Homo-oligomer: A and B are copies of this chain.
């Protein structure tokens, strides 16, 4: 199975390396930034191509792992490709490919990727969708080389999943960041929060978050809620977030 990777960002890099580690042949890498393509290709014994017209038309699968907004434009440039094309986005519909391709799909790894951090692909849910059975089977074959956690999901539900992931991951990381800001402004080190952050995530690996909610809002501890808001009086944005989320917690009871 020969795979071409379009993109050299976080998702493309982690995915391409995981494929390489699983003995899947990645033959070419293209990126909007040719230098990034070269860097990634070098790690895969692949070829960095500078123009999409150089794409290997005989490759089995073309994985498009780029910014959502750019997928349509890149797809238009790839329309001579006769293999199976799949994007890796949580938010983009399968039918983005329907006008240009016969065999197309989605290969969405539900995970947060940063270049600096290795991830264990074996547990990552790989969310698959395709326009026909043979394409879906091909994506499943590829996915099974990387993960034990394969999920068939249509575009509508994938968008919901992506939205939920924004709450559970992107917003969560931002709350870590706000906590760090609060600490830094008071000469306290983020290190002191790390065990708490780890435990908060670990708890919900077996429990449901509703059953393990703690803190002043769920306890209706009004004195503490007021004290916290007083500490944030000079940071209206943090105060707004504090109020919004505390009110939301109170409503879950």
Could you tell me which A residues sit within 8 Å of B by CB distance?
Answer: 10, 67-69, 91, 110-114, 116-117, 119, 123-125, 149, 151, 157, 159-180, 182-183, 186, 188, 190, 192-219, 221-224, 227-228, 231-232, 237, 240-242, 244-245, 248-249, 251-252
Contacts and interface: CB of A to CB of B under 8 A. Distances in A.
Given A69-B223, A214-B173, A232 B163 contact: yes
Given A69-B223, A177-B213, A203 B91 contact: no
Contact of A67 (B161, B162, B177, B221): B221
Contacts of A157: 186, 188
Nearest to A212: B114
A68 to B, nearest CB: 5
A190 B164 CA distance: 9
A165 B180 contact: no
- Count of identical protomers in the assembly: 2
A51 to B, nearest CB: 25
Given A161-B188, A199-B119, A248-B241, A67 B173 contact: no
A172 B169 contact: no
A245 B192 CA distance: 24
B160 A183 contact: yes
A229 B171 CA distance: 14
Given A167-B178, A175-B172, A180-B209, A227 B91 contact: yes
A176 B224 contact: no
Given A169-B214, A174-B209, 10 more contacts: A91-B223, A91-B224, A110-B192, A114-B203, A165-B196, A166-B216, A172-B172, A173-B204, A175-B175, A198-B201
9 contacts: A124-B195, A170-B214, A172-B201, A173-B213, A174-B245, A174-B252, A175-B175, A180-B208, A198-B201
Given A111-B195, A186-B160, A193-B110, A174 B249 contact: yes
Nearest to A9: B219
B177 A210 contact: yes
Contacts of A210: 177, 180
A199 B223 CA distance: 34
A220 to B, nearest CB: 9
Contacts of A68: 216, 221, 223-224
Contacts of A198: 201-202, 205
